[in-house]
Amino acid sequence: MLGSIRPALCLCCDQLSLDSRDGTSASRFWGQPPRDPRYAGQQPAGRLADRTRSVAVPTVLYRLLFRLVLQNIRPEAAHAGATRVMRIVETVPALSWLLRKLIGPPDPALQVRTLGLTFPSPLGVAAGMDKDATWFEGLGDLGFGFVEVGTITARPQQGNPRPRVWRLSEDQALLNSMGFPNPGADATAARLRDRRGRTIIGANLGKSMTVSIDDAGRDYAESVGKVAPLSDYVVLNVSSPNTPGLRTMQGVERLGGLIANVRQELARIGCQVPLLIKIAPDLSDEELDAIADLALALELDGIVAVNTTVERTGLASGDAAILARAGGISGPPLRARAIYVLERLRARVGDALVLVSVGGITTPDDAWQRVLAGATLVQAYTGLVYGGPSWPRHINRGLSKRVREAGFKSLHDAIGAGVKCASIPQAPSAPTRSGEESSARPRHGRLPVGRASAAR
């Protein structure tokens, strides 16, 4: 045991020394490419150096914990342990206060005004991290600007058989075949009704496993009726690869019918809440364009892109037995495709829709690239798993620095600033590792909707 601990400690100490000087080594520790060379050689000074060290120390400690302990625990068990710890912290006022004090609020320059809400940071937690809606306040205290709970189904369900999550450590990725395990819409609604904090909450809704595709509209509508009045926005998840037949809901005819069912239910309960859809990365260009056109025609509020991928090419992880399993991959292998889908959607819809970019965000440069490409908000899951509890603060501080270096007063002003023309991007062959308002239909400064105006 000592033989394995000593080299890990030495490596972590070396990394701490480098991180405290320039903050660029964290990615090299995990085998990522180094930070953008534009920032290489910049030495933080004074208070900035102190802040860099305050991030580096817990980050290095988490890497040490991950290498020596967490990677030897089944991913789902490790996730459950993290959930329990954060719930304990949130139930002890002194610990919760201390966590918020240590993390500190995001820079006001990171605020984004969209969907009738003011997000303290564009960085959110993707659906799947808080499946049961039990620790969203703790995630908010870590520095995330919002948390998307779920995926929630109308009926409680256990999901697919275990094991159903695997680490692809060489790629910093995860493979999961969860199948929407969750306590159901009634239990989720009860938990959202009791929330006391200010964390912005989105509800990611999916189809119950036992419900046929033909009855999916009524199934989603049942969840919407219970959860939407208690949420700040709603996402219809039609793209998980782990519920049989679900991705067929992305076809224009079925998707249009689903949205109609959901809107009828929202009208029935008198609830106004932003409505988005979450799509897969594995769609063809024609399918992407058709969904974008439908979203515009039906005046949806936005699109969350993308879910996990069923592609297995371009991976460093070589465990054939794991890669042969059904499920979707998240993390850096999804990065290139996620960027492509974002750029194609932006070229198709402009700023008429809110685009939430997900997939392969592990560094501040990743998040900044998505913002410049037209993402109003970004989400992460796997980045937090490998980066640890100080990771969101690291991303927020990196984004704050990039906003100022680029000469913007706020990140909100940088949304879409990197889009030079409306040309359609070229699709990558396979996943690799590597604002002005719209006068017709503004999306970044709409009149208040959602939780503030929804029936409680």
Give 357-371 pLDDT, tens digit per residue. Answer: 999 999 999 999 999
Task: Report the chain's mean pLDDT, rounded to a whole number.
Answer: 81
Q: In the chain, what are the domain boundaries?
A: 1-72, 75-452
Q: Which pLDDT value is given to residue 48?
A: 40
At the second CATH level, the architecture of 75-452 is Alpha-Beta Barrel (3.20)
pTM for the predicted model, two decimal places:
0.80
Band of pLDDT at residue 319, cut at 50, 70 and 90: confident
SS3 content of the chain, % helix, strand, coil (to 5): 45, 15, 40
Q: Coil, strand, or helix at residue 210? A: coil
Q: Which pLDDT value is given to residue 300?
A: 98
Q: Which pLDDT value is given to residue 104?
A: 76
Question: Among 165, 253, 157, which residue's Cα sits nearest to residue 210?
Answer: 157
Token pair in block for residue 172? 């910093």
Write b or e for each residue in 410-445: b if 16 or more Cβ atoms lie within 10 A of its Cβ, otherwise e. Answer: ebbbbbbebbeeeeeeeeeeebbbeeeeeeeeebbe
Q: Which pLDDT value is given to residue 344?
A: 98
Alpha-carbon Rg for the chain, nearest whole angstrom, is: 21
Mean pLDDT value across residues 307-322: 90
C-alpha 357/C-alpha 82 separation (Å) is: 25
Q: Which pLDDT value is given to residue 41?
A: 36
Mean pLDDT value across residues 200-212: 97
Q: Which pLDDT value is given to residue 46?
A: 41
Q: Which pLDDT value is given to residue 64?
A: 60
Q: Which pLDDT value is given to residue 309?
A: 96
Q: Catalytic residue, from 240, 317, 357, 400: name it.
A: 240
Q: Which pLDDT value is given to residue 442?
A: 37
Q: Calculate the CA 340 to chain-centre distance.
A: 17
- Please give the C-alpha separations between residue 196 and each of 135, 192, 271, in angstroms, as whole numbers: 12, 9, 21
Mean pLDDT value across residues 408-422: 86
CB atoms under 10 Å from CB of 361, counted, come to 29
CB atoms under 10 Å from CB of 161, counted, come to 8
Please, what sign has the CA dihedral across residues 259, 265, 269, 270? Answer: positive
Q: Which pLDDT value is given to residue 67?
A: 61
Mean pLDDT value across residues 221-245: 96
Backbone angles phi, psi at 179, to 5 degrees: 80, 35
Q: Which pLDDT value is given to residue 9?
A: 38
Q: Are 154 and 208 in contact (CB under 8 A)?
A: yes
C-alpha 368/C-alpha 74 separation (Å) is: 32
Catalytic annotation on 240? yes
Token match 């964290």: residue?
A: 26
